[in-house]
Chain A
């Protein structure tokens, strides 16, 4: 059964205000086409999670759509601290979000537990630090310290996370939703599989026969997927391995714009609200910065041996 639809339809049908979202990406493959659509449709009161959050999370916070953040880190990479994140936590603008702090070990382990149907998971980090002293909306359920029933040693347990919806961007998927990814994975695979349903945004839709030519690349199988959206250039200004590079210049423009509330509003107007979809976004990008700049971001080719699964 084909699950192909527009991003507009996917977000409208499958994301509700108040939902708990896993949003995949790790500088590579942030699902920006879907993020912008969430902002256009004003899905708010969201709880969002991912290890190493970046400009996409900062933008959702600046747009006032985030109530809670289960996180480990948020920054704009080489452009420093997340401006909207700081304004929210330091000044309550547009409102103060609630943050539950974990780490790049414990959070993906919690998503793994969610994906595996485990209630909780022991982790070896976080102990002895103030990460155990700050508790937000998860309260006493942020973690539990026990004596291991096996050897009596102090052991930290953290709960499984089960987001309502995962939104990921990958290189290719078929119409049924089998999603294929290569390159740096971050916590995309466990995050997607922890969620109740998955929205797969991809650079290209391929036939089911192409999925079967290299099935080891599939990170989410079709039965978990509710929507497939084809969004070329859909992770920009992040990158997609084999398709296009990080757009550092654009990242700098977001940093400069998000330095002020007015700048952020203007940025959102220009790049989100005044454009109806990713196609219009890409056209606007080319019109503004020139085709040369767009072409410069496109990846070259450096193929491996073709893989073969024949027997």
Chain B
């Protein structure tokens, strides 16, 4: 892999971490923002035959600008198929055709459960969030779920206030007991400091790699549970020259991804 000396920002590194989880020919459900960037980086580098879809009904879109929502007008012209919610969420996702789903959460816990419903008590919320939308079915039914989160004690939690989307729920065997399809579940949590992977035996996230500029100690300090560390923990591979070229020249020439820096992804 060519080492890159070019400058990059944290959201770009995170997008590249997501891209590396995607294999050629994968079917991927994407939302907007850097999950969509991730999938597109993969498509323009090592996974040219992966198929991206949006829950709103779109398959293999060829947008002329980054989509700002899953229903964005730029997703219509050029797509291979424009159908409806049930085509994507029912016929493809529920029927087991989707390899990878990307989700972000206001709160994510050590089992990869995600909260996008409320902060505080459900009946009298301190903050009411949008709700599940497509997140719950994606986290329930995609073979691998990649989770994006901010790495601090507010956005990571030992236990989320509300489980909107299932990770490994309360530990080993829980997904199976509830009848969720076998071999599904969270694959990793990509944060602005690290990549956490999941121990499939315990269902718990552990530290796989720390981003350049972070350290194991800093990550442990900013994780609200006793985070286990992989025996071969290492620094996250920075974006390659090719990944950055694709990002800067093709996918995001106006550097819209920088908006995530304002949201704390630094």
Where the two chains meet, the residues of A that have a C-beta atom closer than 8 Å to any C-beta of B are 26-28, 51-52, 71-75, 77-78, 81-82, 85-86, 89-90, 101-106, 108-109, 112, 123-131, 134, 153-156, 182-190, 239, 241, 245-246, 248, 302
- 1/0 contact string of B85-103 vs chain A (CB within 8 Å): 1110110011000000000
The 5 closest A-B pairs by CB, nearest first: A185-B84, A27-B71, A73-B133, A105-B137, A128-B178
Contacts of A109 in B (CB 8 A): 86, 90
- Additional 14 contacts, C-beta under 8 A, given A103-B134, A184-B82: A73-B133, A75-B130, A81-B129, A89-B125, A102-B132, A108-B90, A124-B94, A124-B137, A124-B141, A127-B166, A128-B180, A130-B162, A185-B83, A302-B77
Q: Is the CB of B130 within 8 A of A130?
A: no
Q: How far is the CA of A156 from the CA of B56 in the complex (A)?
A: 23
Q: Is the CB of B133 within 8 A of A108?
A: no
Q: Is the CB of A26 within 8 A of B180?
A: no
Q: Is the CB of A52 within 8 A of B71?
A: yes
- 1/0 contact string of B123-148 vs chain A (CB within 8 Å): 01111111111111100110000000
Q: How far is the CA of A41 from the CA of B162 in the complex (A)?
A: 38
Q: How far is the CA of A104 from the CA of B113 in the complex (A)?
A: 18
**21 A-B pairs with C-beta separation under 8 A:** A26-B56, A52-B71, A77-B68, A86-B128, A90-B125, A103-B134, A104-B89, A105-B89, A105-B137, A108-B85, A108-B86, A128-B177, A130-B122, A156-B179, A184-B56, A184-B71, A186-B84, A187-B86, A190-B86, A239-B73, A241-B76
User: Chain B interface: which size bin?
Assistant: 35 or more
Contacts of A78 in B (CB 8 A): 68-69
- Residues of chain B from 43 to 92 with CB closer than 8 A to chain A in the complex: 55-58, 68-73, 75-77, 82-87, 89-90
Q: Is the CB of A184 within 8 A of B58?
A: yes
Q: Is the CB of A28 within 8 A of B71?
A: yes
Q: Is the CB of B128 within 8 A of A85?
A: yes
Q: How far is the CA of A155 from the CA of B180 in the complex (A)?
A: 10
**Closest CB in chain B relative to A116 CB, distance in Å:** 12
Q: Is the CB of B73 within 8 A of A28?
A: yes
Name the one of A105, A128, A188, A246 contacting B72, with C-beta atoms under 8 angstroms: A246
**B38 on interface, CB distance cutoff 8 Å:** no
Q: Is the CB of B163 within 8 A of A77?
A: no
Contacts of A77 in B (CB 8 A): 68-69
Contacts of B136 in A (CB 8 A): 103, 105, 125-126, 129, 131
Q: Is the CB of A104 within 8 A of B133?
A: yes
Contacts of A131 in B (CB 8 A): 132, 136, 163-164
**Closest CB in chain B relative to A3 CB, distance in Å:** 25
